[in-house]
């Protein structure tokens, strides 16, 4: 049986230094820079940490000092601790962007430098930059150990598809009725004048009926085309399936600090 468990953890300062992501596998450095900025913005929007952007890191530390710290030969966690200590940020986020046989891979990890342990990490794969960028909210949530974003709403796409389907059906029914009526009228007009089974009406009456039928066919066609357009729009804007969460424990604000909130067996 599953039960909710709440464990309070005092965090103190909530600043997080976001280091420039490393490009690898032939990835354009501008792509890594853009993803670094997008991740920094997501950290700020979520509000659990106060990010220090990579540009601010370079400004505060200096480019050469940052290179020395990040390129030191000591343990990687020690280097990160030095970066965090210089910036007054207990958490450091780092990452990389790699191209693997046409697939982009984003790796993000967050280090708690006070305990020298990894707070969380995340790996996301996508075939293009925009698709990978759309996964950033989940990557940040997993790496930071914070609640995952709510799944994207599908109300509008489903509404468009539903209305479009109804319009297509209505247009189809109206079109069938119009074709049947047209067949009946033209059948009467083509009947043998000697036949007593058919009593012909004035020509104007038949012309008016054919005009109404033509208008019905036009309305039916427009309705079906509009319905098809609505269905296509709904399919195009349909959001993808939200990624499966990589963590089962979330970090949430609690009093002066924060708390780990999770569901455990």
pLDDT digits (tens, 9 = 90+) for 91-119: 889 899 999 888 899 999 998 877 778 88
Residue with tokens 């039916």: 220
Domain hosting 38: range is 3-152+241-264
Q: What pLDDT is recorded for position 200?
A: 64
Is there a single domain that holds both residue 80 and residue 168? no
Q: Where are the alpha helices (DSSP H) in the chain?
A: 29-46, 54-61, 63-70, 76-87, 129-134, 136-144, 155-189, 203-236
pLDDT band per the 50, 70, 90 thresholds, residue 224: very high
pLDDT digits (tens, 9 = 90+) for 128-165: 888 899 899 999 998 988 888 877 778 889 999 999 99
CATH number at residue 72: 3.40.50.10070
Q: Considering the entire predicted model, what is its pTM?
A: 0.57
pLDDT band per the 50, 70, 90 thresholds, residue 193: low
Is there a single domain that holds both residue 100 and residue 204? no
Please, which residues have CB within 8 angstroms of residue 75's CB and are 6 or more apart in sequence? none
From 48-57, 164-173, 238-247, 249-258, the region with the lowest mean pLDDT: 249-258
Q: What are phi and psi of 188, to 5 degrees?
A: -65, -40
Averaged pLDDT for residues 41-50: 88
Is there a single domain that holds both residue 38 and residue 79? yes
Is there a single domain that holds both residue 52 and residue 173? no
Instruction: Provide the domain count of the chain.
Output: 2
Q: What are phi and psi of 250, to 5 degrees?
A: -115, 150
Is there a single domain that holds both residue 142 and residue 90? yes
Is there a single domain that holds both residue 30 and residue 41? yes
Is pLDDT larger for residue 60 or for residue 230?
230
């Amino acid at each position: 049986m599953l039960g909710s468990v709440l464990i309070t953890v005092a965090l103190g300062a909530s600043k997080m230094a976001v280091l420039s992501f490393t490009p690898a596998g032939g990835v354009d450095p501008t792509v890594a820079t853009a993803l670094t900025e997008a991740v920094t913005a997501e950290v700020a929007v979520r509000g659990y940490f106060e990010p220090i952007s990579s540009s601010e890191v370079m400004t505060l530390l200096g480019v050469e000092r940052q290179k020395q710290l990040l390129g030191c030969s000591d343990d990687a966690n020690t280097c990160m601790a030095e970066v965090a200590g210089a910036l007054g940020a207990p958490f450091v986020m780092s990452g990389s962007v790699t191209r693997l046989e046409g697939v982009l891979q984003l790796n993000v990890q967050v280090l708690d430098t006070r305990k020298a342990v990894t707070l969380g990490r995340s790996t996301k794969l996508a075939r293009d930059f925009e698709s990978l960028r759309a996964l950033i909210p989940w990557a940040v949530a997993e790496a930071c150990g914070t609640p995952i974003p709510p799944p994207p709403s599908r109300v509008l796409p489903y509404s468009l598809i539903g209305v479009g389907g109804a319009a297509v059906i209505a247009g189809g029914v109206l079109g069938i009725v119009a074709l049947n009526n047209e067949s009946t009228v033209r059948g009467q007009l083509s009947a043998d004048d000697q036949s007593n089974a058919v009593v012909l009406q004035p020509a104007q009456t038949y012309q008016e009926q054919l005009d109404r039928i033509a208008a019905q066919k036009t309305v039916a066609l427009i309705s079906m085309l509009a319905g098809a357009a609505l269905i296509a729009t709904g399919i195009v804007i349909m959001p993808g399936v939200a990624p499966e969460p990589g963590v089962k424990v979330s970090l949430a604000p609690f009093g002066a600090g924060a708390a780990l909130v999770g569901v455990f067996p």
